[in-house]
Structure 1
Amino acid sequence: MQAHHTTVDPDEIAKFEAMAAEWWDQDGKFKPLHMLNPCRLDYITNQIAGEFDRDLTAPLPFKGLRILDVGCGGGLLAEPMARMGADVVGADAAEGNIPVARIHAEQSGLEIDYRHTTAEDMAAAGEQFDVVLNMEVVEHVASPIDYLTACGQLLKPGGLHLCSTLNRNPKSYMMAIIGAEHVMRWLPRGTHDWSKFITPDELFDLLTRAGLVPVDRKGFVFNPITWSWSLSDRDLSVNYVTASLKPD
């Protein structure tokens, strides 16, 4: 599907098309995301539960909520949301990701509406969601403000937008580019363009200009000793996540 106006960057899409089949290989090119995923899910589930007054100990705590995962990849976030009872749409501009995600969801016994489409096209079609997940995508688009505006349009009034990305500073260059791509070789070289990284203040400004109200931000911090990720109120120096609301 081709939009009349799109923020899709063809070079960025090509990178992820080439890696599509590896989404569910925990030791493959998406190993960093598999390692980060429990920490991401902890933040996401707590934010959704808090905003919509849901009990995470209930069998299907997100039942009745419609959730969009933009840039869904192979479904690493869409599947847990579906397991928690949400009505989930997974959208990705990289066509090769969609069959991988569909097959894995089917094998997992989950019903997820996966689509090869863009946030802009869905917004133009008038789609509406309670929650929009926008994780590790904004640093790959051609125009962050246009993209975030489309994400905002996809939210119902009072809806929740969760957005994670990479900070832009010398430390993030060393960790995300030199460390992850060159030293550890977790990701293919060129996966990230440091110049497209966004500082937390810049992202808050973009979100506000997109018509959203930023309400929270936390850091995702990697501990090389325990080889694990955790949430931090203070350290947003490399990976971080934000929560914003659409005004009623």
Structure 2
Amino acid sequence: MVETGSSIVADEVERFAALAGDWWDPDGASAMLHKLNPVRLAYIRDQVDQHWSLDECSLKPLTGKSALDVGCGAGLLAEPLARLGAKVTAVDAAPGLIAAAELHARGQGLDIDYRVAAVEELTGAFDLVTSLEVVEHVAEPAAFIRALAARLAPGGLLILSTPNQTALSRLLMVGAAEAFGAIPKGTHDFDKFIGPDRMKLLLAEASLKCIDVEGIAWSPTRGLHLSDDIRLNYLVTAIHA
């Protein structure tokens, strides 16, 4: 079921809301996200440093900048963005996840503006907009990306991540990962996966320019890591065209 005028799919919200209780447990149902998060953060930090010509050794490179994380879950990305100095707003459609996020942030002494909301309900502009592993779960990806673009400040940076639509992603992310319990069953619908070429078109239709694509690959020796191999999962960075 889709909420009218919103990117939110109620069934997807319910599925992820059920994970709220152990979201911050690195060995819990969201363990794969915990493994993925350092890889995503390394990419974000590199893109941020390049885009704003920042000191790559700075502990708080985002000081003075605003960040919006859409589909934030219980805050796995929002918290590191806050630690990097950003003034963070983070939204998710699941009240239980936002409650878990607020509780965890308080325990960490972090001031993050968490909201139960869809991106279409927001106003204002943000220097950095992130939405990781979300676009494959929304009702209309094109409308969702337009809504993200509407929240991106002039000169700002948009960063997304999503599974590629390949035989390898079907095998590992839908087949093996769910079969062996690495992620909860039903997490992914292969038909909703978006390849980089289609992603670039969606970005262009939202008056955004793709400036970088980088893969997230997996190997037995390295685990998840940034790579030129985009067959499994990838990150994309865009700016206003």
Shorter-chain TM-score: which interval?
Answer: over 0.9
Secondary structure (helix, strand or coil) at the match of 1:34 reads helix
Distance 2:35 2:211 in 1: 26
**2:95 alignment partner, SS class:** coil
Judge which range, 51-60 or 26-35, deviates more.
51-60
Contact map agreement 1:148 1:206 (CA 8 A) in 2: yes
Corresponding position of 2:38: 38
- Deviation, structure 1 residue 127: 1.5
**Runs of 4+ with >2 A deviation:** none
Aligned to 2:230: 236
Question: Offset at 1:212?
Answer: 0.6
Matched, 1:246 2:240: yes
1:134 aligns with 2:135: no
Among 163, 169, 180, the residue aligned to 1:172 = 169
Q: What does residue 54 of structure 1 align with?
A: 54
Tell me the equivalent position of 2:98: 98
Q: How does 1:1-248 map to 2 (within 5 A)?
A: 5-122=5-122, 126-183=123-180, 185-226=181-222, 228-233=223-228, 235-247=229-241
SS in 1 for 2:89: strand
Structure 1: distance between partners of 2:7 and 2:106: 30
Q: Distance in 1 between matches of 2:135 and 2:206?
A: 13
User: What 5-or-longer segments of structure 1 have no aligned partner?
Assistant: none
Query: Residue deviations 1:156-201, cap 9 Å, x none?
Result: 1111000100011211111001111112x01111111111000110
TM-score (norm 2): 0.96
Whole-Å Cα distance in 1 between the matches of residues 88 and 63 of structure 2? 10
Amino acid at match of 1:191: T
1:4 positional shift: 5.9
Q: Secondary structure at the match of 2:156?
A: strand
Q: CA RMSD in A?
A: 1.3
Q: C-alpha distance in 2, partners of 1:59/1:202?
A: 35
The CA distance in 2 between the partners of 1:206 and 1:114, in whole Å, is 27
TM-score, length-scaled by structure 1: 0.94
Aligned residues: 240
Q: CA deviation at 1:136?
A: 0.3
Partners of 1:4 and 1:138 lie apart in 2 by: 17
- Preserved contact between residue 28 and residue 186 of structure 1 (Cα < 8 Å): no
C-alpha distance after superposition, 1:131-162 (max 9, x if no partner): 10010000000000000000000001111000
Write the deviation string for residues 24-53 of structure 1: whole angstroms up to 9, x where unpaired.
010011111111111100000111111112
Q: Equivalents in 2 of 1:27, 1:172: separation in Å?
A: 23
Q: Give the Cα–Cα distance (whole angstroms) in 2 for the partners of residues 148 and 110 of structure 1.
A: 28
1:56 deviates by 3.1
- The percent identity for this pair of structures is 42
Report the AA paired with residue 33 of structure 2: L
SS of the equivalent of 1:46 reads helix
Question: How far apart are residue 58 of structure 1 and its match?
Answer: 2.1
